[in-house]
Amino acid sequence: MSKTQEHTESASQSGSASASTSAASSDRVERFRSDVAEMGLRDPKARRERVWMYVGAALMIAGVVIAVVAYVQSHGATAAYNTEGPATQRDAITIGLIGITVSVVGAAMFLRYSLAQFFRFWLARLIYEQQAATSQLIESGRLGESRTS
């Protein structure tokens, strides 16, 4: 057999192996989706968590707006004839720190609730895969016992 024929045969074998692998993974994904649908993993807290996620995003935006307003306020109080300039600047610094705090709290809320959704799905997938692996081990153990008997 020539090298080109060997190469062609090995390429066709690897192509069929990759096609069977992709078909198997596609079948596995479809089985996972159907099993998740059967389990009915709807969480009653999901809607409430989505609302809190949106509240966190709104707080991030509001905090940035508050900080920008405080910055503008602090620069407007620098006129020489303004006797309350230093007091206004200190107020603006306080307002700016409040804005930054609101942004940080909003970011923490957003991350917490968005990651909760992701980890819930990840955990369901992990449990499913562990159950499938356990089932395969049990089946292979049973096959091994029947072969030795």
Domain range summary for the chain, segments of one domain joined by +: 1-40, 42-148
Give the Å distances, CA to CA, from 52 to 41, 58, 81, 90, 99.
20, 10, 46, 33, 19
Distance CA 109, CA 74 (A): 29
pLDDT in tens, the chain (149 residues): 444 444 444 444 544 545 555 666 677 667 766 766 676 655 656 788 889 999 999 999 999 999 999 988 887 755 555 556 677 788 888 999 999 999 999 999 999 988 887 887 788 788 888 888 888 888 787 766 666 65
